[in-house]
Structure 1
Amino acid sequence: MSQNLSDTQSLLEKAIDRHPLLMAPDTSITAAIAAMSESDTSYILIVEKTQLLGIFTERDALKLIANKTNLAELALSQVMTTNLMTINLVETHNIYSVLASLESCKINYLPIINEQGQVIGAIAPDSLRPIVQEICDRAAAAEEFLRLNAELEHLVQKRTEQLIANNQELQQVLTNLQTAKQELINSEKMATLGKLIAGVAHEINTPLAAIRSSVQNISEFLKEKLEELPTFFRTLSPENQQYFFALLQKSTQETDTLSSKEKRQFKKALQRQLESEKIPEADSLASTLADIGVYHEIEQFLPLLKSLDSSQILETAYRLSTLQKSTRTIATATERAAKIVFALKTYGRYDNSAQKVLANIIDGIETVLTLYHYQIKQGVELVRNYAPNLPSILCYPDELHQVWTNLLHNALQAMDYRGTLTIEVKQQGQNLLVKIADTGKGISPEILPRIFEPFFTTKMPGEGSGLGLDIVNKIIDKHYGTIEVESQVGETTFTIFLPLNQNQE
């Protein structure tokens, strides 16, 4: 087991009994045994003028008693073990070499002396037992990490296989669309179909790029840091292990729904709190904690933040949390790519065999907002007005995801990714009401009646297929809901009503 010098020396220090029971060689055996009992110790070091002469142990006393020796007539000098093996603490720093010496020499007690030959302590079974347990615990932690790492590699491989499968299906869709375009070369829909192909090609690039980027992040991490992690975990004390895994747990719980402004506010609050605790480099630590997902309740981590190795522990926790986020991004982007195929299939044919399930509408909206996180944070203020304790509804969640995707995508494009995006979800009578409002340029009165027509679009070629709002309308109708739109210069609002009771089918 590899350890650095300071860590092995620290373990050795913990194993030393700094207050051994010392007695002169002329001390009677009866007095020595009484002193051992009173001090609750299993050994006595016999010294004369600070020089070590021998050792008398609990085992020696038991042998004398078993042999019915007259203890009153004996002194320690007559029964002590001499010619002891000792170690000089100045010359010895490695706990593992000490353990090896104890094992090879078949001894239980090892006196510690200084350069002058004076006794300064001893390693005994009682002081050594917790150190051996700590070493075993560290080995177990390292083994658990290797197991978790193997699971992570398996997950990466599985997600990569899903990417390849989805990419092949997407390529087949594009090939089929291209074939249809050639067959309809003389048709009025040729130009529109060309826009459809271009639009689909544009839309699939986003999840594919996200997957490629996430896989690259994971690959770079495994290449750069994998070999260092076992040593890092072995050098962690049990207390720091608890802090480390608590940080990763915080990262796992993070939903990443905070706006950039909210994150900056939390970071500043964290920095002020760290500065009040006199913790150096408070600004850098606050940034790392915020990136991990620790925005508040940092009191439990204050002992870690005040320790000398806090920077390495936080940096490693941050890198692993980024790894976790990359796997979630792969999962989300893979689902997104599959939904694009689903949307195209939905337009041509609906699968009525699918069963509705109970789902939380806000969860679906937040899933789509995660996909657009990068575009939103560049210059869009996101306002969420979610009523509390909203009921789940029977629905087709994947299809509703497509609704939120199309409406949010249109809203962001209408604002040119600069403005305010407001999302409101509440119960109104027997319906769930969802409002998505943007501060874009608005929809002209002449165009407004046509926006739900299939293939109708005002966007430039390659920017849209003209199917988005038509698909939205069909999905809402499939849920026995309605969709309304109001628009003027500087504000457009889409309002969706979804009935809570959908037993009409």
Structure 2
Amino acid sequence: MADHAEDRCSIDELRGLFIFDGLTDEQLNRLCSAGQVLSLPAGPLCREGEPAAHFYVLLDGEIALSKRSGTRDIDIWRASAPGSYCGAWSAFLLDQDLTYENSASLTRPSRVFALDATSLGTFLHSDFPMATHLLIGHSHGRSHAHRILDPHDRMVQLGQLTAGLTHELNNPAAAAVRAAAELRDRIAGMRQRVADLTDGSPAPGAVRSMVELQNRVAEQASKPSAMSAMQKSDLEAALGEWFDDHGVSDGWDLAGTFAEAGLDVDWMERVSASIEEVGHAQVSLGRTMRWLSCTVETELLVTEIADATKRISALVDQAKQYSQLDRAPFRVADVHELIESTLTMLSHRLGPGVTVVRDFDLSLPDVPCYPGDLNQVWTNLLHNALDALGADGGVVTVRTYRIVDKVRVEIGDTGPGIPDELLPRIFDPFFTTKPFGEGTGLGLDIAVRIIDRHGGSLWAESIPGDTRFITSLPLTVAVPEPADTGS
């Protein structure tokens, strides 16, 4: 709490507040004795996530509540009516581990009645036992419902967002792919209309030979290159030396472009031989190489545009697959497609220090399942694996195989492992080994419930350097028939 001045608590003042309506003088006196009236300056009153130590009732002034969302505090409520309250909402649970659910601030100098959470919880249990039982039941029920429904709701929201993105991105991406292909055709058509390569006027046969040469170079440049960065660097050096040997003054500038397209020294020799066959004085090697370099650059740019737009379409399709919005809720699905779509959604976490090993049994049959729910399982397990690797990185292995009538999916990591004494507790609700505020302890509990819904099982095996979460899914579950809604 901020610096404050303490005033005398008056039951007459408390009696006039709606929150204490109906309490007897004896009850009000007990509250006054347990609490204190504080005069506080404008500023923070309590912070979300910190231990819920006090329950605050506004006597005069104004309270503003906010809720954390990502990296921002979002204002959700503001009140100046006497009797407005905040702080230890769930004191009736008498749980020492309760934390503030919201952050509260005073927007101007205010007076509040502050009651410690234990005193409030004890008062509620002793004076309103039935109401307290109802509140506890409601609180546990709400927590249970949120634990089960929140991940599903997030998937529905993601699906709705994906539906819009699919429509908005797929159309322009497809148009860009078509435009890139048409641009390549138009450029090829322009080459056929070349009237003159040099300032002079070579013979028509010479022009046709040069255009044919240009077409062959363009065709090679449009093919994807399988060379590594080191191979391209070596090729660039070899081309630069070749240009030096043949008197091309700016050859080292041209070498990088030709190397990127996979045009090697043999290609340069063929170009040189073609120029000699043309035999025109103004068709020099240097000018021809610069001309062909422009052709190569154009082809590389068109390829880059086409590849980028195809990548956009592929990402949108993966997001659509991940959310499963357009699919039946229960169906048979390729478990590898689901895993790949989840890895795509988590690609922002797969930094240079993380290696993903896919050990897939591609002969596996499709699995009867709720695909969107399974994606939530893979998301939670992969998140945990990446968290275990930490900043140093490591290897995440995703393995699939079949045992009789069940499909197994193992997600492993090379992190430090789970201590033996903690391994039996990792699937307990709210249990987490992460620092305060970084984990809810619900991810594995949710995953277990989803797998159980599929008639399968989920367990963990761990030693330092080899932690594996193993999911077993039956292949014999029948796909539910659609409900008959009648006429």
- Interval containing the TM-score (normalised by the shorter chain): 0.3 to 0.5
When normalised by structure 2's length, the TM-score is: 0.45
Instruction: Point out the structure with the larger helix share.
Output: 1
Instruction: Point out the structure with the larger strand share.
Output: 2
